[in-house]
Amino acid sequence: PDTPILVSACLAGIYCRYSGAVEPIEPVVDLVRKGLAVPFCPEVHGGLPTPRRPCEILGDRVVDADGADRTAEFRRGAEEGLRLARLLGCRQAVLKSRSPSCGSGEVYDGTFTSTRVAGDGLFARLLKEHGITVRTEEDLAG
């Protein structure tokens, strides 16, 4: 691609996952190493700490496992990511599957029982609404 791919920062091995785990995905690390991709974490840029309580989408809101409303932080982070995507002219993104921010096509259902439902995370949805193609790291592997 002639413009960089926006990637979920956690896929590049950057410390930002809710659990605090560092889990780089080699094909994504490789894209960043070659200067073809730029990492970004919407939840950290929305003001949330690492580690943090897990969050899921519940209707129009995002809540954490203790029931605290995190919708504002998630929206802020998504908007900051869109800002970066526009600055860079990104047309593609590779985002972490099933995250309430980054998930694309499938997310968890808001019951914190690992139940999957069709849907997008807030960041993935915002990028798609602005014409950016979103894939997951699972698409990249397959």
Interface contacts to ligand SF4, rule CB under 6 A: 8-10, 16-17, 41-43, 96, 99, 101-102
**Phi, psi of 134, rounded to the nearest 5 degrees:** -115, 125
Cβ-based nearer residue to ligand SF4, 101 or 132: 101
CA distances from 106 to 15, 92, 101 (A): 23, 18, 11
The CA distance from 62 to 75, in Å, is: 9
Shortest spacing between CB 24 and ligand SF4, in angstroms: 11
The CA distance from 119 to 57, in Å, is: 9
| Three-class DSSP category at 135 | strand
Shortest spacing between CB 67 and ligand SF4, in angstroms: 20
Cβ-based nearer residue to ligand SF4, 82 or 102: 102
Shortest spacing between CB 3 and ligand SF4, in angstroms: 19
Shortest spacing between CB 82 and ligand SF4, in angstroms: 14
Cβ-based nearer residue to ligand SF4, 37 or 41: 41
Radius of gyration of the CA atoms of the chain, in A: 14
Cβ-based nearer residue to ligand SF4, 2 or 32: 32
Burial class (CB within 10 angstroms; exposed 0-12, middle 13-18, buried 19+) of 35: exposed
